[in-house]
Structure 1
Amino acid sequence: MLRTQLSACLSKSVSSLSPTASTLEDVASNHRGLARVVLKKGKAQILKDGNPMVYSGAVDRVKGRPAPKTGDVVLVSDGSEKPIGWGLYNSVSMFCVRLMQLEEEVRRDPSCTLNMEKLLEKRFSAAIDLRRSLGLPSSDTNAYRLINSEGDRLSGLIVDVFGEVAVIASSAAWVEKYRPQIESVVSKVAGVRHTWWRSSVDILKEEGLEVSHEKEQGQPPFTQKVKVVENGVYYLVSPEGQKTGFYADQRENRRLISSLSKDKRVLDLCCYTGGFSLGALVGGAHHVTGVDSSMSAIELANENTHLNNLDHERISFVKEDVTEFMKRALLRNEEWDVVILDPPKLAPRKKVLHSACGMYRNLNSLAMQVTRRGGLLMTCSCSGAMTQSRLFLPTLQGAASMSGRRIAVLRQAGAGCDHPIDPSYPKGEYLTNILLRVS
């Protein structure tokens, strides 16, 4: 068991920075070479409440000789220079420090203070315990999220487990610095035999790092597809696909679609590799049509159909732009009983939110028109800016007006329970999933 292995690692790990005292005040006095980030007055409370991000605009001064470098451990102090926590420094990012531990935590358990290796082991152990309590992995689901960034108190790090493969997604400079330690801890997770590292190149540029793609980092291409099971349905996952290769965040929403699809005609728009489509077919759908603009996704969706020995006459996948597909369907007066619309991220930044609202409105207007009156539309947004703005529902109402339909909200949901969100950092919330009756 990983917990036993990690406990052994914790007892063996020794760091030159490990404190001999139980408060950060004492640590500061014992390690005078440690740099200190001093906040402006009035900027400490949000961090004490749990938000891990120290914005550069909240910093009054940085004390230390030599000055800290990106990835270095630093103390964070309030305006009176009283330490409130410690974290990892970034000299160029808008996130000057990502807090790892607060003063109160150090008092309760000083074993990990200023020691990232030990802290990683402790946070992973807690994450594993949480997933076990949620029943993950299980005999009918072995695809799940193990580490969800701020939700598991490791900001900038995501780890998705797909059977024997763990995909590690990095979007912070500290994650790149501690890559060997992270890979070592992940490799000890029960059942994991392979790890695959994915650096978010564009985000890391904002962190001050020029990181090449995986193939250029000495990591061989992951040519094999990984077989996973979710809700009893088998899928082939390509770790080099979109995001980490599979949208485990929609697992509970796919289960719902499966339960609603018996004897229904189902349309899955932006179907990717067939997650919702196969769930609907297994749930007894009369016929399922999946549409996606990516040929590689469509090919994998067809492979997944073969993998489950499903009736090919009851499912078809179409490579086409979903907007064009829906316009053509309207010309044919074609409608479906259940429609799923799960487009890619249309608002990657808050500054494009206005234009993204227009795109979401247009897509959903068409989706409502191809949903038979009295039918169901499950519509999604994976754009954090949209979800956090709470503009998605008003946008859907605008789409209903545009399409001449009325809608009723039956259910609002987000990502699965293995994607925890820290309420002190609401920017971690990104997925909105709304089930509508269209009339």
Structure 2
Amino acid sequence: GIFEKSEGISLTKEGLDAREDWIYGSGPELLPFSSDGIIFFADTKGQKTGFFLDQRENAERLSEYAAGRNILDVFSYTGNFSFHCLKKGARSATLLDASERALSVARETAEANRFTDSCEFVRANAFDYLRTSGLSGSDLVIIDPPAMAKTPSSKRSALRGYKELNLRAMKILKNEALLASSSCTQIVSEEDWSRTINDAFHDSKKIGVIVFRGGQPIDHPEVSSIFETRYLKFCLFRIFELADY
């Protein structure tokens, strides 16, 4: 079958109708597929394609550092990062998301891959959770929020949000812990985002040693003359106390 999912404000601008259904044949709401030996589900009722394929290479690279670690996956959606890390030997994963629908798909994914015993699923607002619950026991925290600004007027607010999320993780993470941070906000440049993360490190009185930088795969092309097409920023840091580095 063929499932069409046409949505967004650009449709209205182009005079097109929104559509979200099967236009040929039929199928289930959750479409199984395999990536890096892991069974995932694309949710036809989820965001966009139901799976953030632009993060697949970053998830695979991050998993190389996950063995033996306890993962906190903030804005986990359906668990791309968590399940890659569990596949490579992470001890446990806490998947945190505000969407019960996303977490239900993640639970099904965990069951399909026999990861259920290693997973905890938490439905909560990420800012509230990091503010009140802490990160005790986590030694790899993943911060991968959805786009936090759509217009230039909201850019400053987005940068404040990125700083708060990362700062709260930095304050609690111990020496040698890992922080994976990402931004998919188009109007936030890599320079602005990096400066914001550095400000968070400064305020936390900690050092972040870059393990690797990532971005989008080649099937999400970057056009040299359109800076906004380089939208995905990803960086893995190893955390050190300032006094110990």
Fold shared by both chains (TM-score > 0.5): yes
1:181-220 paired onto structure 2 within 5 Å:
194-205=1-12, 207-209=13-15, 211-214=17-20
> CA–CA distance in 2 between the matches of 1:305 and 1:236?
11
Cα offsets for 1:122-156 (capped at 9, x unmatched): xxxxxxxxxxxxxxxxxxxxxxxxxxxxxxxxxxx
> CA–CA distance in 1 between the matches of 2:132 and 2:24?
44
Residue of structure 2 in register with 1:376 after alignment: 178
Residue of structure 1 in register with 2:243 after alignment: none
1:244 aligns with 2:244: no
> CA–CA distance in 2 between the matches of 1:319 and 1:225?
20
> CA–CA distance in 1 between the matches of 2:84 and 2:8?
33
- 1:222–1:240 Cα contact (<8 Å) kept: no
- 1:269–1:343 Cα contact (<8 Å) kept: yes
**What code does the residue aligned with 2:226 have?**
Y
1:124-135 paired onto structure 2 within 5 Å:
none
2:136 aligned to which of 326, 329, 334:
334
Q: Per the alignment, do residues 379 and 222 of structure 1 end up closer, same or farther by CA in structure 2, a change over 3 Å counting?
A: farther
Residue of structure 1 in register with 2:129 after alignment: 325
Question: How far off its partner does 1:301 sit?
Answer: 0.4
When structure 1 is superposed on structure 2, of 268-277 and 346-355 the one drifting more is 346-355
- 2:98–2:126 Cα contact (<8 Å) kept: yes
SS at match of 1:379: strand
**What code does the residue aligned with 2:206 have?**
R
1:170-185 paired onto structure 2 within 5 Å:
none
- 1:335–1:372 Cα contact (<8 Å) kept: no
Structure 2 unaligned spans of 5+: 241-245
> CA–CA distance in 2 between the matches of 1:340 and 1:438?
13
- 2:66–2:140 Cα contact (<8 Å) kept: yes
**What code does the residue aligned with 1:317 have?**
F
Residue of structure 2 in register with 1:290 after alignment: 95
Residue of structure 1 in register with 2:218 after alignment: 417
Question: How far off its partner does 1:218 sit?
Answer: 7.4
> CA–CA distance in 1 between the matches of 2:23 and 2:212?
46
1:19-418 paired onto structure 2 within 5 Å:
194-205=1-12, 207-209=13-15, 211-214=17-20, 223-310=28-115, 312-330=116-134, 334-387=136-189, 390-418=191-219
Question: How far off its partner does 1:404 sit?
Answer: 2.9
Question: How far off its partner does 1:304 sit?
Answer: 0.1
How many residues are treated as equivalent by the alignment? 240
> CA–CA distance in 1 between the matches of 2:69 and 2:103?
22
- 2:185–2:232 Cα contact (<8 Å) kept: yes
**What code does the residue aligned with 1:342 have?**
D
Cα offsets for 1:30-85 (capped at 9, x unmatched): xxxxxxxxxxxxxxxxxxxxxxxxxxxxxxxxxxxxxxxxxxxxxxxxxxxxxxxx
Cα offsets for 1:134-186 (capped at 9, x unmatched): xxxxxxxxxxxxxxxxxxxxxxxxxxxxxxxxxxxxxxxxxxxxxxxxxxxxx
SS at match of 1:288: strand
The TM-score with structure 1 as length reference comes to: 0.51
> CA–CA distance in 1 between the matches of 2:230 and 2:26?
31
The TM-score with structure 2 as length reference comes to: 0.89
Question: How far off its partner does 1:403 sit?
Answer: 2.6
> CA–CA distance in 1 between the matches of 2:65 and 2:211?
13
Structure 1 ranges of 4+ moved more than 4 A: 217-223
- 2:77–2:102 Cα contact (<8 Å) kept: yes
Question: How far off its partner does 1:272 sit?
Answer: 0.4
Structure 1 unaligned spans of 5+: 1-193
Question: How far off its partner does 1:237 sit?
Answer: 1.2
Question: How far off its partner does 1:209 sit?
Answer: 2.0
- 1:237–1:245 Cα contact (<8 Å) kept: yes
Question: How far off its partner does 1:221 sit?
Answer: 8.7
**What code does the residue aligned with 1:402 have?**
D
**What code does the residue aligned with 2:132 have?**
R
> CA–CA distance in 2 between the matches of 1:363 and 1:272?
16
Cα offsets for 1:303-355 (capped at 9, x unmatched): 00111122x3221111111122222333xx71421111100100222221111
SS at match of 1:268: strand
- 1:201–1:211 Cα contact (<8 Å) kept: no
- 1:347–1:353 Cα contact (<8 Å) kept: yes
> CA–CA distance in 2 between the matches of 1:304 and 1:245?
13
> CA–CA distance in 2 between the matches of 1:429 and 1:220?
36
Q: Per the alignment, do residues 208 and 250 of structure 1 end up closer, same or farther by CA in structure 2, a change over 3 Å counting?
A: closer
Question: How far off its partner does 1:395 sit?
Answer: 0.4
> CA–CA distance in 2 between the matches of 1:219 and 1:366?
47
Question: How far off its partner does 1:375 sit?
Answer: 1.0
SS at match of 1:262: coil
